[in-house]
Amino acid sequence: VLSTKDKAFYVEGIESEVVDTTGAGDAMLAAMLAAMEENMGKEESLEKALAFATLVVETPGTRTPEVEQLEEYMENAEVREV
């Protein structure tokens, strides 16, 4: 969920094989902030954040995930206004 003073957005989790949840929340926040710094819209920023966090939970330990699937995961993220 992303909430602003005017709107709220929700995105379902992306189906994945969870290996390790270490750092997933930190990664999601970092990706969200990086996307916003790149002037992405709120919805696209939320898609990127979820996609990156999904890659993190598929990666064992605290290793940096392979980001080849990032765009595909972003396409699968369905943000909706609530």
In tens, the pLDDT along 47-66 reads: 999 999 999 999 998 888 98
Mean pLDDT, rounded, for 4-11: 94
The pLDDT score that the predictor gives to residue 62 is: 85
Averaged pLDDT of the chain = 94
Strand partners, 8: 3
41: left (phi over 0), alpha (psi -120 to 50) or beta: beta
The pLDDT score that the predictor gives to residue 46 is: 96
The pLDDT score that the predictor gives to residue 44 is: 95
Decide if 26 is catalytic.
yes
Comparing C-alpha atoms, which of 60, 56, 53, 61 is closest to residue 77? 53
Strand partners, 65: none
Selecting among 10, 13, 19, 26, the annotated active-site residue is 26
The pLDDT score that the predictor gives to residue 39 is: 97
Q: Which residue has the tokens 């992306």?
A: 14
The pLDDT score that the predictor gives to residue 66 is: 87
